[in-house]
Chains A and B, each alone.
Chain A
Amino acid sequence: MEGATMIWAIMIVTGFATFLMRFSMFSGLIHRALPPALDRYLTYVPIAVLSAIIAASVFISHETQMPTIWNTRVLAAVLAMAVAFRTKSVIATLIAGLGVLWVLENLF
């Protein structure tokens, strides 16, 4: 399959799978409640997946593709974390993170 066709195929399959997960418990096909263990595992899905993406985009150097704990993105992210913790605001966090990164990369 060529690239564009493949994108459509993945999109339609994952879109349908996402719909099924949302629809599942009132579809009329499943009448039982989730086992408590599964319920506990599912609550950690967003934290685990989003943290993986955050870590990979912040702690992998764009130049070397290697792990780093000291560059402009790490500094900006640490500041954004403090802002997110205090304000719980998406807008404030975005402005803090992008603003600090811009300042660090363009003024120094």
Chain B
Amino acid sequence: MTHPSPKSEFIQGIMDQLPLQLGVVPFGLVFGVLGMASGLSAWQTILMSSVIFGGASQVVFAQLWMAGAAPIIVGSSVAVLNLRHVLYSVAVAKYLRLLSLRWRILLGYLLTDEAFAISIKRFEHDPTPRNAHYHLLGSGVTLWAFWQLSTIAGVVLGATLPAHLNLDFAIPMTFIAIVLPSLRHVPHVLAAVSSGLVAVFGQSLPYNLWIIAAAITGIVIGAQAEKWKAQQ
């Protein structure tokens, strides 16, 4: 079997990633606007997109900071939200294990939801991929560039956007677009509903603990429901 060259893998990664930018760009814009509105400086908002490089967790960071949450709560909420990346890491590990440390560090940094979603298909398509890591590099770099540019655009535009547009409402709308299509089984729905209920009625919990309490409730109820369902 012939293997595509590194260059053609890299370009294919870019091409496969481009359609997803339709959703990434508005999300980045909204984060840029929200970051500034929540009291972060322009530099903090822009650099967070490189340092954390995780859309939903950056939004949570900004919202909790704006609400005056303690640093430990902000930090652990971001960490809980990003735990899912361990799953992506598991899934791609067998394809990346033999690469040099430098490659593995770079691809680890680029392993976001979107890059994973696109490149895992490439990896699974060919059981012994020789240059497929260039595909992940291409899709990861593409996402990175669009995320940085749309964050910067949001920071620049933020000051000029009128308040009556309710742009903060774009965050839950973006999440609705992500979560709703992923509710495929009853346990998923139970996880979503139970987490939502704790979030709404746990608002008075001290230290903004509601987000962690809601997340743990949803995760445990969803996973237990799935287990019971499988045993029946």
Contact = CB atoms under 8 A, between A and B. Distances in A.
Interface of A: 3-4, 6-15, 17-19, 21-28, 33-34, 37, 39-60, 65, 67, 73, 76-77, 80-81, 84-85, 88-94, 96-98, 101-102, 105-106
B211 A49 contact: yes
Given A47-B191, A58-B172, A94 B26 contact: yes
Majority-rule SS of A interface residues: helix
Instruction: Report, as a range, how many residues of chain B touch the other chain.
Output: 35 or more
Contacts of B52: 11, 14-15, 18
A98 to B, nearest CB: 6
A16 B85 CA distance: 13
Given A11-B44, A60-B200, A52 B96 contact: no
B56 interface: yes
Interface residue SS majority, chain B: helix
Nearest to B95: A26
Give 7 nearest A-B pairs by CB, closest first: A48-B218, A23-B108, A55-B196, A90-B23, A52-B214, A97-B173, A25-B89
Contact of A47 (B75, B83, B218): B218
A27 B86 CA distance: 12
B31 interface: no
B54 A18 contact: yes
Contacts of B195: 47-49, 51-52, 55
Interface stretch (B2-10, B118-126, B141-149, B163-171): B163-171
A53 B60 contact: yes
8 contacts: A10-B74, A19-B109, A22-B85, A46-B178, A48-B216, A52-B195, A53-B172, A53-B211
